[in-house]
Structures are given as structure tokens and as C-alpha cells.
Homo-oligomer: A and B are copies of this chain.
């Protein structure tokens, strides 16, 4: 369907319309918005997971005999999961920026969207399980009374887990959107027919 709509990003949808007068302009514009939204969600997930990983990794330098994250397998898992998600988010943001700049996906289109959806989904589950186990561990430490004795250790662990939950929320949202993109691809054969 021909459309006089412009594409462009969400805030300046001005200049690109002369270049693509074909029927898929509206779909491409929707796809562009969807991609921009996913990029935004990934950026948020990256920020929260990076912050969670930093909070957890720095949770050992209070004194020599205070507890450290590395003494607790659960907290090691929390740190690992947050780090993996942060690194993955950087990679995905690079791929998204590449797609915006070059107007082509980094991998072949089908492979790319399946890759993104499957990794979003699996990493969201991984991150959630890590944070759930981390909450259990932090609650147990508080119950033992070791929180009072060890300065800010428990508080910092709680903050890290809370940041990780926020990262999970954004990752789960981007998994929903990339899942929708996969379904588009499966049903219509193209991401463009949204």
C-alpha cells in the first residue's frame, strides 16, 4: 500500500521518504520503530546488568575477613549471568546499529532474528534463575544475622540482585518483541510485513 508516511527515527521522521516510494514503506517504518524500541530495551538491560555485575563484583573489598561474593556459589552465578547478559547486550546493540547504518542485518535475516529471539529467551530465563537464587541467598544471610556483622555486604548484594531483576525485565520485554519479529518472519516470510 502506498503511503506518504516518512520513516526515520521516532523523533525526527522527516527526510528519508523520497528514497523509498514502494508499498512497504509503512511496514518498514513500523519495523524501524520496532527495532528502535528493541535497541532501547537492550540498552536498558545492558545498563542494569552491568551495574548489577559491578555491584556484585565489588562486594568483597571491605576487609580481609569480611565475606566476599566469591565465597557463595549463588553470587558467583549472579555475577556470571549479569556479565553474560551485559556482553550479549553490547553485541546485540552493535548489530542493531550496524543494521541501522548499513540497512542490512549482520547475519542472514532469518538466522539473525532466530539467533536474537533464542538468546533473548534463554538469557532471560538464566538471568531470572540467577536473581531468584540470589534473593534466596541474601535472605538466608540476613536470617543468619551475618548482615549486621559484615558492613554493607548484604545491602550491596540486595542492590545487585534488584538491579539484575530490572535487567531481566527489560530483557524479557525485548524477548517478547523479538519473538513477535520471529513470528512475523515465520508467518509472512519477512520481517517487513508487520
Contacts and interface: CB of A to CB of B under 8 A. Distances in A.
Contacts of A133: 132-133, 135-136
A85 to B, nearest CB: 15
A137 interface: yes
Contacts of A129: 128-129, 131-132
A190 B74 CA distance: 45
Interface residues of A, number: 26
Given A132-B128, A133-B136, A137-B136, A187 B194 contact: yes
Interface stretch (A54-62, A152-160, A178-186): A178-186
A130 interface: yes
Interface of A: 73-74, 121, 125, 128-133, 135-137, 139-140, 172, 176, 179-180, 183-184, 186-188, 193-194
